[in-house]
Chain A
């Protein structure tokens, strides 16, 4: 069942993401987004679907089983829509002469382009080795850090009581005073609980082993999109960038707030998913001017991390980067205007 979960957690989000990107970006050429964008968008949408099901259960007092049914229906509908959109787009692309010509051109370019040289191969092999080491560390669950976190206990409470936040996860006793609403609305325990129930797996296995492995992979996908933007023409530089990231992750786990620590020791936490996937992806998207996807990342963060009334790190980063972009544009225009004046005067 674990293998089935691995396959579905890769394929289902990819399908969802592909459909969603078609809706968001219409018929832009496929060079606008990549496989990494499709998978990451799919995961973000899955978080959104889990949030909707979680809120329905929480606020309407429904059971956890009902929550799973709601999630299943939402996912089914979204997958159906995504598959229909993908098929329609594929049919349209087959008939569209421009798209056919562009694809042929790309094939020719790829065939003519020189393959990776020895240096590039070495870099990617080293990167692969480091990631493999990290993957094994994470998937064995031997280096899990649980201080200050009760995700597994929460998931087990949901599964044992078939209810969402009815008992204190720490003791199993019913709440007398309750919990903060800003924590209650976060959906990760529900998402993990759904995976446990559907795939008949232990909470420990899903939360401490499987999810962190996906967060690790998702992190590198996100950094891959950043690398592609920073070094669009040079595969060797992209490989070096990713190798540097993997090294920084490995040695940069000296504080619980470091991204490396989150990825290697507590990938199941909302803050780790934000640090490893959402924030790097947001930086990449902002550099690529893909603002619609940035909005999805901001919303995803609200669903998984305690924020100030929905205002989190992704929003602040977006505001900051947009201010820098606008500031540079205005400065550029002013400079161009001054140069025009100088030219005219001379």
Chain B
């Protein structure tokens, strides 16, 4: 419970750090409470109570428990109709001013009310400015353009991988179909010759693309093609995804990820250092069925050649990555 209370308080500070909609909501609530005239009291009472419950740590902690700890503090504000009340308050405030202006025009004529007109324009612009200031104000949560570019580049690499001479997409589909036929034949053979079922599974699965690549390619591989298997997925670095299953990664997968990250950061490291970390990782990757390794294009030529010597396989440079095809390993 103590942790929940601390989380609730720090969550409130986080919620009000980046944008001020919560503060604007409190202002709108005060305006609506003290305003003379018609307003939707039911919505107003509910919003006030819900906002207070979300701010005070004890009630906020209880609401967090209700929503389950799968979600952070900020999500309890879903129970408060923030957008509805803000829009309602803004509408009531501005429309009452403009209605007043129209009443003045009807009573006194256009020329007399020109000052009121410009006053209302200024107030409207001011309200819009306040809303903009309370919002994002140019501080994005994430770099949308950069991520879009990253996705585009990953797609190019993945398309190139699948279209390459080693593994054309139609050929992949045909290969899978052939494997199905072969697996049926193998099953019959196994029944007569008592082959181990694991060996059969490995033989059938060995031709599916099992990829080990830098983070920016691995991140989108299965988004663009569900037939690509990965040695580890996005949940290796996006820990929020670990909550979606009970699976976890072992030390081997962690080492593979760490080594690939080190190559991304420093492709110019010495060949000794490169191979010292890389050899055990490559061996482990091969044991796990990896049949395609990508290295970043920034990897030094010496390091690429060193790995070529180890794998006895020439790397292909495609779309800024060195590709090692290991289909027969």
- A residues adjacent to B (C-beta < 8 A): 119, 142-150, 152-153, 155-161, 168-173, 175-180, 183, 202-204, 223, 226, 230-231, 234, 236-237, 240-242, 244-245, 247-261, 265, 271, 274-275, 279-280, 283, 287, 306-308, 311, 313, 316-317, 320-321, 324-325, 328
- Residue of B19, B46, B68 touching A255 (CB-CB under 8 A): B19
**Can you report 14 A-B residue pairs in the complex whose CB atoms are below 8 A from each other?**
A142-B148, A153-B222, A168-B233, A170-B233, A172-B222, A204-B224, A237-B91, A244-B91, A248-B21, A249-B83, A257-B71, A265-B141, A307-B68, A317-B79
Whether the pair B90, A236 counts as a contact (CB closer than 8 A) is no
A175 proximity list for chain B (CB < 8 A): 245, 247
CA A251 to CA B86, docked complex, whole Å: 13
Whether the pair A145, B141 counts as a contact (CB closer than 8 A) is yes
Q: Does B325 contact A (CB under 8 A)?
A: no
CA A204 to CA B152, docked complex, whole Å: 12
Q: A119-B98, A321-B42 are in contact. Are A254 and B141 (CB under 8 A)?
A: yes
Q: A279-B81, A325-B42 are in contact. Are A252 and B224 (CB under 8 A)?
A: no
Q: Binary interface profile of B, 52-81, with partner A (CB < 8 Å = 1, else 0)?
A: 000000000000001110111011011101
Whether the pair A244, B78 counts as a contact (CB closer than 8 A) is no
Whether the pair B240, A180 counts as a contact (CB closer than 8 A) is no
CA A245 to CA B66, docked complex, whole Å: 28
Binds A, one of B129-137, B181-189, B257-265, B300-308: B129-137
Whether the pair A244, B240 counts as a contact (CB closer than 8 A) is no
B40 proximity list for chain A (CB < 8 A): 230, 287
Q: Does B241 contact A (CB under 8 A)?
A: yes
B231 proximity list for chain A (CB < 8 A): 171
Whether the pair B86, A248 counts as a contact (CB closer than 8 A) is yes
Whether the pair B244, A183 counts as a contact (CB closer than 8 A) is yes
Q: Does B246 contact A (CB under 8 A)?
A: yes
Interface centre among A180, A230, A308 (most CB of B within 10 A): A230
Using CB atoms, name the residue of chain B closest to A179.
Answer: B245
CA A242 to CA B228, docked complex, whole Å: 44
Using CB atoms, name the residue of chain A closest to B231.
Answer: A171
A247 proximity list for chain B (CB < 8 A): 128, 131
CA A152 to CA B225, docked complex, whole Å: 10
CA A308 to CA B240, docked complex, whole Å: 19
- Count: A-B pairs, CB below 8 Å: 218
- State the majority secondary structure of interface residues on B: helix
Q: Does B94 contact A (CB under 8 A)?
A: yes
| 8 A Cβ contacts from B78-106 to A | 78-79, 81-84, 86-88, 90-91, 94-95, 98
CA A244 to CA B300, docked complex, whole Å: 55
Could you tell me the distance in whole angstroms from the C-beta of B193 to the nearest C-beta in chain A? 26
A257 proximity list for chain B (CB < 8 A): 71-72, 74-75, 77-78
A250 proximity list for chain B (CB < 8 A): 135
Whether the pair B43, A279 counts as a contact (CB closer than 8 A) is no
Could you tell me the distance in whole angstroms from the C-beta of B116 to the nearest C-beta in chain A? 15
CA A298 to CA B144, docked complex, whole Å: 33
A176 proximity list for chain B (CB < 8 A): 247
Q: Does B118 contact A (CB under 8 A)?
A: no
Per CB-CB distance, the 9 closest pairs between chain A and chain B, nearest first, are A170-B233, A251-B135, A156-B226, A160-B226, A148-B240, A172-B229, A257-B74, A254-B19, A177-B246
B88 proximity list for chain A (CB < 8 A): 230, 241
Could you tell me the distance in whole angstroms from the C-beta of A193 to the nearest C-beta in chain B? 10
Could you tell me the distance in whole angstroms from the C-beta of B173 to the nearest C-beta in chain A? 11
